[in-house]
Structure 1
Amino acid sequence: MQKIIFTLILLSLTIFCFAQGNYYDSVINLTGQSLYTALHSLISTNTNNSYNGSKAFLFQQLDNVDGYVTCIYTGQSFYVGYNYTGSTNPNTEHTYAQSWFAVEDDPVRRSDLHHLFPTDSNVNSARSNYPLFTVANHNSASVYYSYTPWQSYRGLSANGYTVFEPADESKGNIARALLYFNTRYYDTLTQQNVNMIPDLVIWNEQDPPDAIEIARNNAIYEFQNNRNPYVDHPEFVNRIWTTPISDDAITSPPSCLSLSSITPNPFHTLTVINIKSQEVRKAEISIYNLKGQKIRTWNQTLLSGSTELVWNATNTSGTKVPPGIYLINIKSGGETITAKVLLN
């Protein structure tokens, strides 16, 4: 059976190259707002509005391996056979919570398989509609579960809001699902005072699509006639959200904040981050590694014009960090900028 599954994945990867075909030709050279808007038009072709049909496909075919499905938050396997419809346990997780829908009870949003996953019903209830974001302290958080293959957490963010942090093994999948949903429907990714985008950008970097996620995207395309572009092209995430763009980009006013330069980049000893603002404003500037761990934070007052910040490749405790790719995240006044820097 393992040989059959491996063959199916190889076949799906072949279909992946074929299925994309000319799908992205009209957007492949775009960036920022232009790419975001063009992707919205490109992927707005799904019309499936049968939630029962989506659940049946999810549990009976899409995520079914030899009669088993896997919880997106715990990695726990459930035997469901081949006729299960997700009515008890496990059930269906809407990563973009239904209570967040801009159009209440919209059947197309509810049925969109790109953001639906099997989950332990108890963990689904625990996640509720909390933002998917980093929990500041795992030791004081509720864990789901210590005995399962993966661990997710519910607790407080660094700013004191209750959030739900998915397991490391599924962070990339969830990030791409939520960014897809925002691009497809223009529904906001700021919920309960938490802007999820900075963490989603990081999760997309640290957990890239694997063969299973690519195969899943192909199967959903066959079922509902649209693709998740961030699975096919995860680099689109940085091309959109490392350019100043709010998640309500279509109606937002022009950005007052920009990252002018990171010099030098790559760097060895120190680098200078140059931030431009049209007004005096407070900002939080953070450095993340590719595991999604925040290693350094500054609370800075930006001047009207240019503000320079020097990073000497140390963490909060003053210890030198190892060479690698790091993400610079700037938050100010509801705007977020993320950029990469390479430490040699």
Structure 2
Amino acid sequence: MLKKILCYLLVLSTSMIEAQVIINELDSDNPSTDDKEFIELKSATPNFSLNGYVLVFFNGTGSLADKSYYTISLNGLTTDVNGLILIGNNLVSPVPERIFTNSTIQNGPDGVGLYLGSTSDFPANTTATTVNLIDALVHSNNNTQVPSLQALLGVSTQVNENANGSGTTQSIQRKSDGSWEVKAPTPGVNNDGSGFIYNGVTIMANTNHKNEGDSFTITFTTDSVVSSDLVFSFSLNNGGFTTADYTGNTSVIIPAGSNSFATTISLIDDALDEGDEVLKIKFGNLPSGYNRRNDNIEIRVVDNDFTTLPFGTPLNPTYGNVTSTAPAGYYDSLEGLSGTALKQALQNIIANPSVVRAHNYGDVTDILKVADQNPLNSNQVWLMYVETPRAKLDFQTTSSNVGSWNREHIYPQSRGGFANATDDIPDGINVWLPTNADDIATGHGDAHHIRAEDGPENTSRSNRDYGLTGYNGPTGNQGSWKGDVARAVFYMAVRYNALSVVNGDIPDTTVGQLGDLASLLTWNHTDPRDDFEMNRNNYIYTWQYNRNPFIDYPALADYIWGANAGQAWHASLSTQDNATIRLVIYPNPANERFTVFGINDEASLALFNTLGVKVFEQKFVGETTFEPNVASGIYMVKITQDNQSFTQKILIR
């Protein structure tokens, strides 16, 4: 009898809880980067605790149809005086009580369920169910129906957010009779406009980048004048940015009869190289009756205490300042070999299973912050294709890549067959796995072919081949990266048995092959290895315990695929040894003519354009001034003397 009573009370209690809270509004599709997504819940009584509730989002189509893709715990949240609570992106106004990243909610057709339970009850790819379900909504931005998901969630209708042809400007809202309608979003207020209206507080500040030593003003404004003094505090702390980095008043008093307050913050110019930081203007607790119209306002603080490196950028390269750190005898096994035997011996070195270490994709981010550091500013990385620096702090962490840098696979993931093959959570230099030439998954996190790159440009390159009919970089680029990608592709084609580099532009869907070999061989000569590239080769070696041999010896490519294929290799035959010829080319940039100083015996000078076409050639002895009569642009000067060569970029105006 006691058991029956307890069961009855449990059912009664659950029924009462189920009636307490529902899904009230959903905006899953809004302009551009989906940065104003939200879901709003409404309780039957105000100030209702949501402890023990969880939101679960489900796929409606595809291979994971009817499976969960995201969960949000509601523990610690309480509805407001209107019974409402917002969960959404930071840019939603008023600011949600729980924030999730932009583009989290899929546009549909998909579904969302409100459950009693916890996130642990719904691991990724959990099938939709009505067990412990409180409320559910199946939604989309088109008319595609997903009856299977509707049945699993126990709902009979599917709501189209674009039902009015409004595109991304409206949301799905529950009416008082329980049905749904689509109209302009009403986050934070009752859908019918009734109820208590909060006095919203807005943060206003100039969010342009600030330098250490700068001062700026923060103004707080209420929607309407306050009837009594409004007192609250705010903070600027965010990660490494603390109270030691600024001075100023962080207490706010908006006096009765007014609606604004301003305070000045001064950034401290210290002598520490902390790197660029981001301060975050964030509200403290607001009194009852007020809410936040915005929050978490970020401002970049640029550190002026950066350091530099003793070599140039790829756009203004230097040669001979950085030397290889390859151990003595590292390449000795190559001597005298040719053809297939030479290529195999090279692979035996760089894929040696008893030596080489494999790291994951997360580690690559940390590697690139050092390997691709801008030589002119230690707080930046150098972006390869767009030939410009960007703050290390701007690494892409959301679905939007605009203004961010990310990791570019020179041998594309889809073409290499190693897409998403390793973990994106770094585990450090001391955690690694053994690897070998057949371990293609290692290519996903092999830093020798991964570079820091502008997000949109990385997307633009996609998985295309390189070369005249493939990818040649953004409009106006000076080709400072072309030799780098050639040598990276050559490395991959030797390091992994499953990969190769071939002539011609082949379909982008081809797995295991990348082109165009002829273009890459030309690029290897016209954009020679520089100090920047040698430095990254040295650093990656400290992680992976292997090197890119085509950086140490660029001429190896010719002996495996190019003009010297089939000939015996000897390290002494390697060209482009810039350290062996000491000369100066000046001025650079040049106005029509330039001078070469430092050659005492007969030599020849050749000038190549960015396509690798020779446009000028002349023999000379001693200090000589050249007037090649070519169009303005970037050229490669190649000087050859006694089987040694020196190559340098020059800008002719």
TM-score (norm 1): 0.59
What are the Cα deviations for residues 187-209 of structure 1, in whole angstroms up to 9, with x where unaligned? 02246347411111110011111
Distance 2:515 2:309 in 1: 38
| CA positional deviation for 1:321 | 6.7
Aligned to 1:144, the other structure's residue is in SS state coil
Q: 1:12 to 1:47 in 2, by over 3 A?
A: farther
One of 73, 76, 91 as aligned partner of 2:406: 91
Match of 2:489 in 1: 178
Distance 2:526 2:320 in 1: 26
Counterpart residue type for residue 37 of structure 1: Q
Distance 1:5 1:321 in 2: 34
8 Å CA contact 1:56–1:85 kept in 2: the answer is no
Distance 1:142 1:176 in 2: 16
| CA positional deviation for 1:293 | 3.6
8 Å CA contact 1:90–1:118 kept in 2: the answer is yes
Distance 1:104 1:245 in 2: 32
Match of 1:133 in 2: 467
Distance 1:206 1:169 in 2: 9
What is the RMSD of the two structures over their aligned residues, measured on CA atoms?
Answer: 3.6
8 Å CA contact 1:49–1:110 kept in 2: the answer is no
Match of 1:119 in 2: 453
One of 340, 343, 360 as aligned partner of 1:50: 360
Pick 1 or 2: higher relative contact order, CA cutoff 8 A, min separation 6. Answer: 1
TM-score (norm 2): 0.32
Percent identical among aligned pairs is: 26
Match of 2:415 in 1: 100
8 Å CA contact 1:217–1:228 kept in 2: the answer is yes
Mapping for residues 179-218 of structure 1, pairs under 5 Å? 179-186=490-497, 187-190=499-502, 192-193=506-507, 195-218=515-538
Match of 1:5 in 2: 309
Mapping for residues 1-344 of structure 1, pairs under 5 Å? 5-6=309-310, 13-14=322-323, 16=324, 18-45=325-352, 46-59=356-369, 61-65=370-374, 66-81=378-393, 86-87=396-397, 88=401, 89-102=404-417, 105-107=420-422, 108-135=442-469, 144-146=474-476, 151=477, 167-186=478-497, 187-190=499-502, 192-193=506-507, 195-242=515-562, 290-291=608-609, 293=611, 322=617
What are the Cα deviations for residues 302-343 of structure 1, in whole angstroms up to 9, with x where unaligned? xxxxxxxxxxxxx9xxxx97458xxxxxxxxxxxxxxxxx9x
8 Å CA contact 1:12–1:215 kept in 2: the answer is no
Counterpart residue type for residue 118 of structure 1: A
Aligned to 1:218, the other structure's residue is in SS state helix
- Which structure has the highest helix share of the two? 1
Q: 1:122 to 1:28 in 2, by over 3 A?
A: same
Distance 1:7 1:201 in 2: 25
Aligned to 1:96, the other structure's residue is in SS state coil
Aligned to 2:334, the other structure's residue is in SS state coil
What are the Cα deviations for residues 93-112 of structure 1, in whole angstroms up to 9, with x where unaligned? 00100001145544311100
Aligned to 1:70, the other structure's residue is in SS state strand
What are the Cα deviations for residues 251-299 of structure 1, in whole angstroms up to 9, with x where unaligned? xxxxxxxxxxxxxxxxxxxxxxxxxxxxxxxxxxxxxx8546476xxxx
8 Å CA contact 1:73–1:123 kept in 2: the answer is yes
8 Å CA contact 2:310–2:321 kept in 1: the answer is no
Q: 1:50 to 1:104 in 2, by over 3 A?
A: closer
| CA positional deviation for 1:143 | 6.8
Matched positions, count: 233
8 Å CA contact 1:32–1:244 kept in 2: the answer is no
5+ unaligned residues in a row in structure 2: which ranges?
1-304, 313-317, 423-441, 508-513, 567-606, 620-642, 644-653
Q: 1:109 to 1:3 in 2, by over 3 A?
A: closer
Match of 2:118 in 1: none
Match of 1:332 in 2: none
